[in-house]
Amino acid sequence: MLNKNQELQLTITDLSYEGMGVAHTDEGMTLFVDNALPGEVVTAKILKLKKGFGFAKTVSIETKSPDRVEMSSNKWAQTGIAPLAHLTYAKQLEFKTKQVKTLVEKNKLDIDVLETIASPNELGYRNKAQVPVRQVKRQLEVGFFRKRSHDLVVMEDFLIQDPKIDNTIKGVREILRQYGITGYDERNHRGQVKNIIVRRGYFTGEIMVVLVCLDKKFKHLPEIADEIHQLEEVKSVYLNHNPQKTNVIMGKKNRLLAGNSYITDKIGDQTFMISPQSFFQINSSQTPTLYQKAVEMAELNQDDEVLDTYSGIGTIGLSVAKEVKSVTGVEVVKSAVEDAKNNATLNHITNSEFFLGKSEEYMNHWAEEGKQATVVIADPPRKGVTSEFIQSTAKIAPRKVIYISCNPATLMRDIKEFEEYGYTTKTIQPVDMFPMTQHVECVTVLEKN
């Protein structure tokens, strides 16, 4: 019988989807162990027990894996910012490929999974940071939450964020402290600043700072905004009003405090305007490869009429617009649709249109009105597409569906449903957009049989 807080020796046999070491005990329990790699023997302390499985953390490592990377800080592991940072990058890529292959097998699909394409930058690759702000020992601090908790681990080096973003966060923190601003207190729902969001254009160096605040206004806000605007590379400063007691970081309303209403960045030779609420791929060094793989697999031509669903600020659609007859995008975030329209103008694209709404509803509407499309691009969030989306896509009957997915589990589910409508795929290309984490992006093209 195992107990919480008990320490025991474990042999790690595998890595879970979350990047935790997997061990099986004599009692028939499966334990998921923080900071433990396959082949290692560790002494671990049990943190939580459930029926048949539990969670533990490594106390000491008795036998070390040759694939272990020594870390200069354990904060990244404590917070889950970089759950695979203790594994060599080559092994991380193998882990990602295997993850997708295992899912293909489990789903009894006949698909070839290619090797995961490495990211050019393994560290400091994130162009966006969202860090919580809290009071710690009566001082405003930034950092990240300890795993499975809301306790702030104070931090200055976030490992996978652009170091210039880390610097800006420090600069903003100092300004907030100077003006006696308080960090958010979750228990009493008090304090002024909940989060700092910083986005930096990888190619332009333009920085946007968003202060997520409990109130719309507070003392010295204009001076604070002005000082933040004077920090190196900062082009845009916003206040996002989030009065709710919620885990959702941003509220619905943004107010421009200083500078421009957007920043710009480049993908290939195109420039994109990005507003605070708009999605933008977070690993700019790898985005061109992701898009290029999708385009290569789609074999587009000048007669193609492309539907770019879940289009964000139009990045994929606009990057292929010159090679095809037309691009029609649909996206649910209003400011992203506005950005997409502006981005078309900015890049002299005249054969694109963007609509505000849910992709599944627009696809249904387009299917009913008999809209023509030869290629559909789907780049949904983690939950994947809906059955309604797949049915209407089948009705529109494009020759190809380019599917870009950040969650292989929902990708498999959707591929199986597409198969019922006569669409099949032969290969999946994993692309590493998120080094040091367990996440993997996949590109695949479904073809009409």
Question: Which residue positions form the known binding site?
Answer: 281, 310, 331, 379
* Residues of each annotated binding site for S-adenosyl-L-methionine: 281, 310, 331, 379
DSSP 4-18: TT-EEEEE--EE-TT
Kindly state the smallest distance separating residue 80's Cβ from ligand SAM, in Å. 21
Is 330 among the residues that bind ligand SAM (CB under 6 A)? yes
Smallest distance, ligand SAM to C-beta of residue 115, A: 22
Pair of tokens at residue 74: 């354990």
Exactly one of 331, 338, 417, 441 binds ligand SAM (CB under 6 A); which one? 331
Longest Cα–Cα distance of the chain, Å, equals 69
Is residue 441 close enough to count as binding ligand SAM by CB under 6 A?
no
| C-alpha to C-alpha distances, 89 to 84, 96, 122, 127, 285, nearest whole angstrom | 9, 11, 8, 20, 16
Nearest residue (CB) to ligand SAM, 182 versus 364: 364
User: Binding marks (x or -) toward ligand SAM, 253..292, rule CB under 6 A?
Assistant: --------------------------xxx-----------
Residue 272 C-alpha from the chain's centroid: 19
406 is catalytic: yes
Q: Which is nearer to ligand SAM, 256 or 333 (CB)?
A: 333
How far is residue 103's CA from residue 408's CA, in Å, rounded to a whole number?
Answer: 7
**What is the Cα–Cα distance from 17 to 372, expressed in whole angstroms?**
40
Query: Could you tell me the CA-to-CA distances from 164 to 10, 156, 170, 204, 207 in Å, in that order?
Result: 41, 11, 10, 12, 9
Q: Please choose, out of 143-151, 182-190, 213-221, 375-383, the segment that lies near ligand SAM by the rule CB under 6 A.
A: 375-383
Catalytic residue among 31, 37, 378, 406: 406
Kindly state the number of chain residues that form the binding site for ligand SAM, as judged by CB under 6 A.
19
In which residue are the tokens 């009105």 written?
369
Give Rg (Cα) of the chain: 23
Which stretch in 61-69, 308-316, 340-348, 411-419 sits in contact with ligand SAM by CB under 6 A? Answer: 308-316
Amino acid at 103: L
Contact with ligand SAM (CB under 6 A) among 162, 339, 379, 414: 379
Q: How far is the CB of 329 from ligand SAM (least distance, A)?
A: 8
| Whether the Cβ atoms of residue 161 and residue 197 lie closer than 8 Å to each other | no
List residues binding ligand SAM (CB under 6 A). 279-281, 310-312, 315-316, 330-333, 336, 358-360, 379-381
Q: Which residues are known catalytic residues?
A: 406
